[in-house]
Amino acid sequence: MPTFKGLLLEETDGKVSSSIQDIDEARLPEGDVTVAVKYSTINYKDGMVINGLGRLVRDYPHVSGIDFSGVVEASDNPNYKPGDEVILTGWRVGEVHWGGHAQKARVKGDWLVPMPKGLDLKRAMAVGTAGFTAMLAIMTLEDHGLTPENDGEVLVTGGSGGVGSVATSILANLGYRVAASTGSPESHAYLKDLGATTIVDRAELEEAPKGPLARERWSGAIDNVGGVTLHTVLATLKYWGTCASVGNAGSFKLETTVLPFLLRGINLCGIDSATCPKDRRIIAWNRIARDLPLDKLDALTETAGLSDLPDLAGKILKGQLRGRTVIDVNS
């Protein structure tokens, strides 16, 4: 039986361990498309899965990796044929279904997206779930009336992370004035290079306003943090502004009031990239290929191998990874 290499997670006495193993192809899960994976990446959720946190995985042994790009090897799906280049993000792959931290994957064809013109396999994973989420957030802000002509800056919290880096790059390229927040002084030049016009100290947003409303500052916002930071963002949005909530790296709790919504007409929109409908997925990926400057993408990307994943999984949970890290599953 043919084998492939992958990061296999196993559970013993409630503890999760990981190792690179040769895995029989017969162990691949059900699906109508088999993909020869070329690249994956490391996301916050991957860090949790690899470290056995959050009870995200129900059955072991398991292969992590919530996204991947590769070439179709076999297909019973009418939309794909061998040789097609494809992308997968979401659908709880890497959690309840074996994921992309391996050289082979078998999934439902309906979960895949064709490679858009202008991207390649590696750059697609430099984008990955993080960049895809960033694009969905930007599209949501646009759906609620945000344009580059709006008065004021667009705030991106967690600016130096994966979502924040891509969001900052795209927004700046579209002509928005971007305020990127970070708690890392060494990230200031990095964010400026991505196009941020203003750097906001993370601590400034972690101090809750004294009242339900504070001085208007942001024409729109993309928040990766949650908790007090999100409360502060909502209290400082301009009239009719929208905040797209994409993460809870700080806290999943939100203590606020209805007054910013009632008195300033603001919107708070959640972004669920995992189950985004396919039509909107394709629009988002085509927008990424068009609106994300590839030189900026390359500048924020590093490459690692399967054997680096356990170390990277710990670092991403501690906020020690900047930009995007692509995993070359064949290196």
Coil, helix or strand for 254?
coil
Domain annotation covers residue 310 = yes
Strand, coil or helix: what is 218?
A: strand
The DSSP letter of residue 297 is H
Residue 292 belongs to a domain: no
How many domains is the chain partitioned into structurally? 2
Give domain status of residue 122, yes or no. no
Of 238, 287, 277, nearest in space to 90 by CA: 277
**Structural domain contains residue 92:** yes
- 196, 167: one domain: yes
**Is there a single domain that holds both residue 59 and residue 20?**
yes
Conformational region of residue 54, where left means phi above 0, alpha means psi within -120 to 50, and beta covers everything else:
left
- 281 part of a folded domain: no
Within a domain: 280: no
* Ranges of the chain with pLDDT below 70: none
Whether residue 111 is found in the same domain as residue 175: no
Angle at CA 2, nearest 5°, toward 331 and 38? 30
What is the domain extent for residue 246?
A: 130-270
Residue 86 belongs to domain with CATH number: 3.90.180.10
Give the per-residue pLDDT at 41.
97
Pair 241, 314 in one domain: no
Same structural domain, 144 and 239: yes
Residue 324 belongs to some domain of the structure: yes
CA 251, CA 131: separation in Å to the nearest integer? 21
Sequence-ordered strand ranges (E) for the chain: 3-12, 15-24, 33-41, 62-63, 67-75, 85-89, 104-107, 112-114, 153-156, 178-182, 198-201, 218-223, 237-245, 267-270, 301-305, 324-328
105 & 179 share domain? no
CATH of the domain at 241: 3.40.50.720
Please check whether residues 306 and 188 belong to one and the same domain.
Answer: no
Q: How far apart are alpha carbons 246 and 38 in whole angstroms?
A: 27
* Domain match, 181 and 250 both: yes
pTM of the model: 0.92
Rounded-to-integer distance, Cα 166 and Cα 67, Å? 16
pLDDT score of 18: 97
Domain co-membership, 77 together with 45: yes
Helix (H, G, I), strand (E, B) or coil at 160: coil
